[in-house]
C-alpha cells in the first residue's frame, strides 16, 4: 500500500502539470529578446539566433547580408563566391565541383 505522502506528491505533480498545460501552447515573445528554449548558435564568443543571423567570416551578420562576386551579388549566409571562377554556389557545395543548375556565373 502506497504511503499517504507518496500519493499526495503524485497528485500535486499531476495538478501542477494540468494547470501549466491548460494555458495552451507558448507564443512568441513580443520583445526582441530570445526565449531560452529557442535555438541559438555561437560565432566566436557571441551567441546569435540562426533564424535572424548567421556566422560569416567570424562575425554575426543578418541573413539578408549580400556581397559582390564579379558582377553578381550573393547572399553570404546561403551562398559562396568561388573567386577563381567567379561562380556563386550554395554554401554546402565545393567550389571545385562541376557546375549545377543552382550555380551562377558572374564574370567581372
Share of residues in the chain with pLDDT > 90 (%): 55
In a domain, 35, yes or no: no
Q: Which domain holds residue 71?
A: 42-105
Average pLDDT over residues 41-56: 92
Q: Residue 76 class from Cβ within 10 Å (0-12 exposed, 13-18 middle, 19+ buried)?
A: buried
For residue 100, tell me if it sits in a domain. yes
Looking at per-residue confidence, does 37 or 103 come out higher? 103
Residue 55 lies in a domain: yes
- The answer to the question of residue 70 being in a domain is yes
The arithmetic mean of pLDDT across residues 66-90, rounded, is 94
52 is a domain residue: yes
**Mean pLDDT across the chain, nearest whole number?**
80
Cα(83)–Cα(57) distance, integer angstroms: 15
pTM: 0.60
Total domains present in the chain: 1
Write out the three cell numbers for 66.
549580400
pLDDT digits (tens, 9 = 90+) for 9-30: 666 665 565 555 555 544 545 5
Amino acid at each position: 500500500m502506497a504511503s499517504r505522502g507518496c500519493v499526495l506528491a503524485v497528485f500535486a505533480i499531476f495538478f501542477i502539470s494540468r494547470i501549466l498545460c491548460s494555458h495552451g501552447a507558448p507564443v512568441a515573445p513580443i520583445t526582441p529578446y530570445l526565449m531560452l528554449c529557442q535555438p541559438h548558435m555561437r560565432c566566436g564568443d557571441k551567441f546569435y539566433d540562426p533564424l535572424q543571423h548567421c556566422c560569416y567570416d567570424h562575425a554575426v551578420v543578418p541573413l539578408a547580408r549580400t556581397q559582390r562576386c564579379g558582377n553578381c551579388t550573393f547572399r553570404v549566409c546561403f551562398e559562396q563566391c568561388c573567386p577563381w571562377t567567379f561562380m556563386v554556389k550554395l554554401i554546402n557545395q565545393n567550389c571545385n565541383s562541376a557546375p549545377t543548375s543552382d550555380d551562377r556565373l558572374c564574370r567581372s
